[in-house]
Amino acid sequence: MNGSPVIDKQGQPSSGGVSIIDKSQGLTSQGGVLVIDKPQGWTSHDVVAHVKRKLKAKKVGHLGTLDPLATGVLVLVINGATKYSSQLDTGAKEYLTVARVGEETDTYDREGKVVASSDIAAVTDGAVMSALETFRGRIRQVPPMYSAIKSGGTPLYKLARKGVTIEREAREVEVYSLDVLRVQLPVVEFKVCCSRGTYLRSICHDLGRLLGTGAHLQELRRTASGDFSADEAVLPGLGPEELSKRIVPLDEALERAARASRKAVSGEQAGTSPE
């Protein structure tokens, strides 16, 4: 995107390949919440480690992982706020999702190996819309093998990398809203507001199964997590002082989390701007 900062492999804005961050800066962060716009290719752990090092914080965690392929809102809890993670991780998650119909992959996304492909000439826009309709409301969803869910203490993705597939129990999640934005086959773009623990990769995979063609996740961007939205998110490459300024104080963050929880119960969507 024109005008966007270039991010180097350490997540720092760069000019001509040279970091413009003064590496001598050090800043002890206060407890609170920092909303990061996760760049594509980073793991959530990468972001946590990078921000912890940059702010010289004692503790940093996150409120819900994002796959390396995904971008967008990754809510970090800093120092004392880590003790309140469960109270802060409330409300719905909101995503912009792009699925590609006609190919099924082992990881359910574009980074995996194509395991099946089909001709989509007979697939209609109406068929896609009808299939997506089935994902609204409370649904039971089987998580992908390539996920951080553990079996016997081992993350499923580690088993999957060894070629091991095990039965996964379906989990109940809730899709509060699903709005189709574009159907231009093989591409389908839609916006989802859902409960925590919902796998958008599984929705794309299951869409392909319903259509009989296969499908996988092509792009994913989280635009909101509870009351924290992309509008306030910052890139991890900002300097320590700027990052520190964007930390939401713990008291304010808890108030916003409580508000998001109430809105989720009443059926309102995530990402409302702070009052």
Give me the active site residues, please.
67
Q: CA 129, CA 133: separation in Å to the nearest integer?
A: 6
Helix 125-133 to helix 200-211 angle (10° resolution) is 130
One-letter amino acid at 82 equals: T
Structure tokens at 45: 């752990």
In angstroms, rounded to a whole number, what is the distance separating the alpha carbons of residues 213 and 141?
19
